[in-house]
Amino acid sequence: MKDFEIENEVDEKVNRILQELIKEPIDRILSYALKGEEDAVQLYTFLSEKINEPHVKMRFKQFVKSEEQHRETILDILKELSPDKKPQSVKDESWFEISIRDKWEIKSVEDYLDILKIAIEGERLAEKTYTFIAQNIPYEKYREIFFSLAKDEKEHYDFVKNQYNFYKRARVADDMQDLLNRLLKE
């Protein structure tokens, strides 16, 4: 049930953002995607520096490299499609809500869950955005590139969602143990 709740909540938010985004011209959508990739690099850099578990740390470092490659790919496509335009400044709601980065701390499971939820939303939005672009871009040579980007983002999403679910269960187990301890003391 909890897995469904996070999926539903994330999909609702992502669909609202995507409905607005798809009304924009391709150079604006690509600028938004660039911003999302830049935010993802910051988020996964932060997580790779803060998390000590070796496998998770390694995966977040891999995500940083992957998101940097995505950024370069999108920038190249934007330059090809609109050589006279530079990426636009994006003030819309960012995929990873980087405006809160100065407040990021991981002092509790809840802090980690909050940050993972931001990553889940970002990865879901990236996957859906790249799938939308792949299905609608009038340039055949870019379709497979965007489908490939969507696949990468789906893999990131699956890993982050699994992390979220694992730590969510751990937090619930801790809460239950605390409750049991209080009941036994009374």
Number of domains in the chain: 1
pLDDT at 98 over 50: no
Domain presence at residue 154: yes
Domain presence at residue 37: yes
The Cβ-side half-sphere exposure at 115, using a 13 Å CA radius, reads: 27
- For 53-80, what is the mean pLDDT? 94
What is the reported pTM?
0.81
More confident position, 69 or 124 = 69
One-letter amino acid of 25: P
- CA gyration radius, the chain: 18
pLDDT at 127 over 50: yes
CA distance 135 to 50: 37
**Percentage of residues in the chain having pLDDT higher than 90:** 33
**Locate tokens 């679910």: which residue?**
165
pLDDT at 49 over 80: yes
Q: Are 71 and 62 in contact (CB under 8 A)?
A: no
Q: Which residue range(s) make up the domain with 54?
A: 2-179
More confident position, 9 or 133 = 133
Domain presence at residue 162: yes
Domain presence at residue 185: no
Domain presence at residue 184: no
What's the mean per-residue pLDDT of the chain?
Answer: 82
Predicted confidence band of residue 186 (pLDDT cuts 50, 70, 90)? low
Residue burial 153-172, b: 16+ Cβ < 10 Å; e: rest: bbebbebbbebbeeebeeee
Predicted confidence band of residue 152 (pLDDT cuts 50, 70, 90)? very high
- CATH number of the domain residue 69 falls in: 1.20.1260.10
More confident position, 149 or 32 = 149
